[in-house]
Chains A and B, each alone.
Chain A
């Protein structure tokens, strides 16, 4: 039973991936992001020209974000099996991961709000759009704390049969550094460090995708090798 529940948590993350790709990218056309350099009129037009796509895309995103929650719980559950690893790390990961879910849920509802009244003053739509993108792309600290707690736990693990291979720890440390450039987007409307830029948006996105796949495979192996108890 325990194993089936864990496999459900694992594959729910794959469901998240599918829902996010459909909602965020294919329906809402949020990838690549609308530029922070656009005028209020251009931003309003971006929403008006794709109202149904954005509204429906955000529903997909809500479903997808929900599916991320069991995956976070699964990471902590496997971390608790590591011998000699302080339990606080599993709880820190759980909280960091939960906050990451929250910083995607809030923007989803801000994007929804922005698309809710297309007839309103464009500057208000621009502000909602700004807030949504800044929250989702710049809020790096929960992710960093989550990565560091996973990394430290893996290094501390003294189980006879290791839960995750040690290099998974270093992928997590690397991911933590990959989040850092996102913090710079508060200063820029254009260029590589703006929220649609190569180094502040695409680099963390690619790094997250790599991290996600590494964790997925590592968790799949950890569940497979776990003896039913």
Chain B
């Protein structure tokens, strides 16, 4: 607690930095850009293979439940919104409130995961596996890789909530929260591309 009080004066200044600053540390953006390039490559390969066999791809796409996908889109968007609110709370020194909002964002991620598991198990029960055809191969691999990102994001979100609960006024605290929030928005953004690409694109 003592150290927390000592650095408060500095963090007040830090929390009202110029509006045009890059959120988080620059390294996080190296990761985010690198990761988005990899996903863009995956998306391009998917579109390429789709072009080779459009009939198979649209027939298989019709067996997907777009309702799950849409619901999950809403969950991730809501979750991103909670993160935005949490970061606003942090900037107004409402760390407890921020912690609660991070937990809400985490719960949305958890909901996303439950739907995903439900969706996978329905597909596997219907004998639609990654080996069924090229469409399902991409469906499982693309959504699976994204799912790995969601799980990592939930772990990060847990640490963010714990940090906010203890109080953000520690060196590097705000930077960590901004980096984690940026990562979570990236996970959301990737899904917003992935969902129409796999579930809807005709």
Does B131 touch A at the CB level, under 8 Å?
yes
Q: Which of A41-49, A84-92, A192-200 interfaces with chain B?
A: A192-200
Chain A residues, Cβ within 8 Å of B42:
199
Q: Which of A173-229 contact B (CB under 8 A)?
A: 173-174, 177-178, 180-181, 184, 187-188, 191-193, 198-199, 203, 207
Closest 9 CB pairs of A and B: A167-B27, A170-B31, A170-B27, A174-B34, A166-B27, A167-B30, A170-B30, A192-B45, A174-B31
Q: Count the B residues whose beta carbon is within 8 Å of the partner chain — how many?
A: 20
Residues in chain A within 8 A of chain B (CB atoms):
165-171, 173-174, 177-178, 180-181, 184, 187-188, 191-193, 198-199, 203, 207
Does B70 touch A at the CB level, under 8 Å?
no
Chain A residues, Cβ within 8 Å of B130:
187
In Å, the complex CA distance between A169 and B201 comes to 37
Chain B residues, Cβ within 8 Å of A198:
41, 45
| Minimum CB–CB distance for A96 against chain B, Å | 19
Does B18 touch A at the CB level, under 8 Å?
no
Does B134 touch A at the CB level, under 8 Å?
yes
Chain B interface, >50% SS class: helix
Pairwise interchain contact B27-A184, C-beta atoms closer than 8 A: no
Whether A191 touches B38, Cβ cut-off 8 Å, given contacts A170-B31, A180-B145, A180-B148, is no
What per-residue 1/0 map shows which CB atoms of B18-41 lie under 8 Å from chain A?
A: 000000011110110011001001
In Å, the complex CA distance between A184 and B30 comes to 26
Pairwise interchain contact A171-B45, C-beta atoms closer than 8 A: no
In Å, the complex CA distance between A167 and B28 comes to 7
| Minimum CB–CB distance for A58 against chain B, Å | 31
Chain A residues, Cβ within 8 Å of B145:
180-181
Whether A191 touches B34, Cβ cut-off 8 Å, given contacts A199-B42, A199-B45, A203-B41, is no
| Given A167-B27, A177-B35, A184-B141: 8 more A-B contacts, CB < 8 Å | A165-B27, A166-B25, A167-B26, A168-B27, A170-B30, A173-B31, A178-B38, A181-B141
Q: Can you list 15 residue pairs at the A/B interface with Cβ under 8 Å?
A: A165-B27, A167-B25, A167-B27, A169-B27, A170-B27, A174-B30, A174-B31, A177-B38, A177-B148, A181-B141, A191-B137, A193-B137, A193-B141, A199-B41, A199-B42
Chain B residues, Cβ within 8 Å of A187:
130-131
Q: Most chain-B CB neighbours within 10 Å: which of A167, A170, A193, A199? A: A170
In Å, the complex CA distance between A161 and B3 comes to 23
Chain A interface, >50% SS class: helix
Chain B residues, Cβ within 8 Å of A171:
27, 30-31, 34
In Å, the complex CA distance between A23 and B198 comes to 41
In Å, the complex CA distance between A61 and B147 comes to 37
| Minimum CB–CB distance for A164 against chain B, Å | 10
B28: nearest chain-A partner, CB-CB: A170
A203 partner, pick from B28, B38, B49, B141, beta carbons under 8 A:
B38
Pairwise interchain contact A174-B148, C-beta atoms closer than 8 A: no
In Å, the complex CA distance between A191 and B53 comes to 14
B42: nearest chain-A partner, CB-CB: A199
B25: nearest chain-A partner, CB-CB: A166
| Minimum CB–CB distance for B119 against chain A, Å | 20
| Minimum CB–CB distance for A159 against chain B, Å | 15
| Minimum CB–CB distance for A45 against chain B, Å | 28
A165: nearest chain-B partner, CB-CB: B27
In Å, the complex CA distance between A188 and B141 comes to 13
Chain B residues, Cβ within 8 Å of A174:
30-31, 34-35, 38
Q: Most chain-B CB neighbours within 10 Å: which of A188, A191, A192? A: A192
In Å, the complex CA distance between A184 and B138 comes to 12
What per-residue 1/0 map shows which CB atoms of B40-65 lie under 8 Å from chain A?
A: 01100100010000000000000000
B34: nearest chain-A partner, CB-CB: A174
Q: Which of B138-166 contact A (CB under 8 A)?
A: 141, 145, 148
In Å, the complex CA distance between A168 and B28 comes to 10
| Minimum CB–CB distance for B160 against chain A, Å | 15
